[in-house]
Structure 1
Amino acid sequence: MQPKEYVLLLGADQYLRERAFSGAKEAIGLPVWAASEDAVRRLNRTFDTMLSADPKDADSLLRAIRTHAARGWHPRVVVPLNDWTVDSANVVNRTLGLGGLDDTAVTNARNKHAMKLALLTAGVRTPRSRLVQSDEELLDAVEDLGLPVVVKPYDFGGSGGVVLATTREEALAALAESKGVIAQYGAAFNILGDKYLVEQFVDSDDEVSVEVLCGAGRAQVLAVTEKYLSPRPWFAELAHLVPSHRTGDEALTDLAVRACVALGIDRGLAHVEIKFGADGTPWVIEVAARPGGDGIMDQVERAYELNPYRLHVGSYLGVDLLGTVAAAVPVRTSAIAFLKAAPGRILDVLDGKPLPPEVRSVNIAAKPGDLSHAAKNWSTREGLVELEWDELFDAKTPLPVTVAKDLADQIFVTGEAAGA
């Protein structure tokens, strides 16, 4: 029987990852499959086939893959699209002889403590940090690092459990809050959440993410994304804009490339988060061995007229696309911003009013009766708006946040306060 091949995308059925299907189709003319724990009840008809498997669990995936192999179907490669599937994709790729990242690169990308050690060893500028489990270890770390500090889980994402502390008492409260987030979400995301990182705070609200295509010992920056953060002590991402006015900053892009090389990421897109100190010095905060989330890839595609998932999948297939990335230039500005209702119980949702001309899409996730809380992480959003302008900004613009706030104020009617 002639083998039949497919590309398996893990995490591609996640909301705001849908364009991965089109990118994979552009990368190679093979069927594109995805995986879901219950593909019968959660069938996604975008994909050519849905495996009934947990995309976060390599054993579950291998069982499903082998079932289809008996029918003549074999994966050409397995491609992770979010943090929770980097490890499972790599195990499957290695087990089946399909390539994949080195195990050390996976550890560096998923364990923020290991990541920091690798960056510091390579001379990549990143804040000092300590790994802790208890209140006593936390206070020792504060004594060593000095205040203020940021407390966060060492293996989570989405700004979940990331809290700024300016005093010892706030640090203890931050650790308790971080542990609470892991208790709530850890099992769903299949993470340990048993340790926490205490990190020196880069005192600035200027932050970008750098989307980088990686190769063996080299990498090329595709885009720089401007980030808009919630008020302290949390770090919820309120909006992302592409391209940032910092696009072309060689010190920034060189730092992002060196970070990816230092972690051993040798294929696919990486998402590098960088903050700027008060003196303008860039500091690497985190690196993820997968495309940026929160719809950033869709904004990159609109701004550059290039589907970044094609680059990600193509790289996993062994195609050298760094030259394509180097030649990419933005032709417009695109942004995604998250709708935030005023804190309280949502009494009504008023949709249907005329939208500003720059709006490309709106998605309202909240409904009457829901509670709106302060912006802490991805879980406290009430929807999103995508925006587009036929110009490139030469400075940071407040437009994504102001347009989203104006829309949220029009759409959501809130009542009694729900607390922080």
Structure 2
Amino acid sequence: MQTKEYVLLLGADQYLRERAFSGAKQAVDLPVWAATEDSVRKLNRTFDNMLSADPKDSDSLLRAIHAQSAQGWHPRMVIPLNDWTVDSANTVNRVLGLGGLDATTVTNARNKYAMKQAFLAAGVQAPDSRLVQSEQELLDAIESVGLPVVIKPYDFGGSGGVVLATTREEAVAGLAESKAVIAQYGSSFNILGDKYLVEQFIDSDDEVSVEVLCGAGRAQVLAVTEKYLSPRPWFAEVAHLVPSHRTGDPVLTDLAVRACTALGIDRGLAHVEIKFDADGTAWVIEVAARPGGDGIMDQVERAYSLNPYRLHVGSYLGSDLLDVAAGAVPTRTSAIAFLKAAPGRIEDILDGKPLPPEVRSINISAKRGDISQAAKNWSTREGLVELEWDELFSEKTQLPVTMANELSDQIFVSGETVGK
């Protein structure tokens, strides 16, 4: 039987990651497949084929892959695109002898406490943190770290369960809130959620993410994204803008590269989150061994006229594309911001009015009757808007947040307040 190869992308069918298919096609002349638990009921026709498998579960993936092998189809590489598939993709790659990330690297990228220990060992500046399970361990950690602190699940993402506490009482309530988020979402994302990080708070809203293309022993920054956060005590990401005015900052670039090297990431794109304190000192908050989410890759593509997924897939397949990343230059500014209705029950949605010329796309996910809550994490959004400007900003602009708020006020009519 003739051997036929394909590239398997995990998480590519997720909303705002659709451009991964195009990037993969640019990177390699092979069929591009995806995986979903029920490909009959959830068929995505973008892809050349879909495996019926849970993309978060390596055993499920291996069963589906072996079934296709009987038909002569073999994956050249399994490539993760989100946090929930980093472990499963690389487990499958190792089992099949395809390569992929080292097992320790995967652990360091998914376990935020192990990540901070790797940063500490490598001299990468990161907030002091402690790993806790119980309320008493939380209070003991506060004695060591000092208030205020940030409490977060050690293996989750999307700002889920991330809370700021300025007092011991707020910390106890914050841990309870974080545990409640894990109880609600943990099984859906196939995470343990049994431990929590108590972390030194970097008192700043000045934050960026750095998209880094990694190679063996070296790495190259592709883009710097300006991040916008919700009001405290939560840390929901409410907008992203590419390129940040900090693009090209050598101190920032060096720190991002050293953070990826400290974790042993030697292929693909990594997403590095960095904060600047009042003195301008840069702190690495965390690193993900996958491309940035929330549509950031789409904004990079528009600003740089380069599909970053091409680099991610090509790197996993063994191509050295660091020079391509180094040569990328932004020619415009692109942003994504999330729509937020006023707290309460959404009584009406007034869509259809003329939109500002900067709007590239808009998507309203909320429905009449939905309850709008405070912006805590990814789950409390009512939609999104993508924006574009034919200029590069030399300082931080609030335009993405301002325009998203104005559109939200125009679109959503909220009534009675329900709950908190």
Can you list the C-alpha shifts for 1:184-210, whole angstroms capped at 9, x where unaligned? 000000000000000000000000000
**Structure 2 residues not aligned, in runs of 5+:** none
Hey, what's the Cα distance between the residues in 1 that align with 2:150 and 2:253?
A: 25
Structure 2: which amino acid aligns with 1:166? Answer: T
Measured in 2, the distance between the counterparts of 1:120 and 1:392 equals 35
**Match status 1:170 vs 2:162:** no
- Cα separation, 2, equivalents of 1:172 and 1:417: 26
1:211-360 matches, within 5 Å, as 211-360=211-360
Shift of 1:417: 1.1
Q: How far off its partner does 1:217 sit?
A: 1.1
In 1, Cα distance between equivalents of 2:252 and 2:189? 31
1:377 aligns with 2:387: no
1:179 alignment partner in structure 2: 179
What's the counterpart of residue 118 of structure 2? 118
Q: Deviations over 1:157-202 (max 9, x none)?
A: 0000000000000000000000000000000000000000000000
Identity %: 83
Q: How does 1:50-69 map to 2 (within 5 A)?
A: 50-69=50-69
CA–CA distance in 1 between the matches of 2:419 and 2:390? 40
8 Å CA contact 1:19, 1:298 repeated in 2: yes
Counterpart position of 1:403:
403
Query: What do residues 6-64 of structure 1 show as CA deviations (whole Å, max 9, x unaligned)?
Result: 00000000000000000000000100000000111000000000100000000000000
Mapped to 2, the partners of 1:56 and 1:344 lie a distance apart of 35
The one-character-per-residue Cα deviations of 1:327-363 (angstroms, maximum 9, x if unpaired) are: 0000000000000000000000010000000000000
Deviation of the 1:2 alpha carbon:
1.8
TM-score by length of 2: 1.00
RMSD over equivalenced CA pairs, Å: 0.4
Count of matched residue positions in the alignment of Structure 1 and Structure 2: 420
Amino acid across the alignment from 2:226: E
Q: How far has the Cα of 1:418 moved from its partner? A: 2.3
- How far does residue 419 in structure 1 lie from its aligned partner after superposition? 3.4
Are the equivalent residues in 2 in contact too, given 1:127–1:201 (CA < 8 A)? yes
TM-score (normalizing by structure 1):
1.00
4+ residue stretches of structure 1 with deviation over 4 A? none
Counterpart of 2:92, as a letter, is V
Name the CA distance, whole Å, in 2 between partners of 1:171 and 1:254: 34
Matched residue of 2:293: which SS? coil
Name the CA distance, whole Å, in 2 between partners of 1:312 and 1:265.
12
Structure 1 segment 65-144 matched on structure 2, within 5 A: 65-144=65-144
**Deviation string, structure 1 residues 66-89 (Cα, Å, up to 9, x no partner):** 000000000000000000000000
CA contact (8 A) 1:9 1:79 kept: yes
Residue 157 (structure 1) aligned with residue 143 (structure 2): no
Whole-Å separation in 2 of the counterparts to 1:389 and 1:410 = 22
Gaps spanning 5+ residues in structure 1: where? none
Query: Equivalents in 1 of 2:363, 2:287: separation in Å?
Result: 28
Letter in 1 for 2:99: G
- Decide whether the 8 Å contact of 1:337 with 1:385 is kept in 2: yes
Contact 1:343 1:419 in 2 (8 A): no
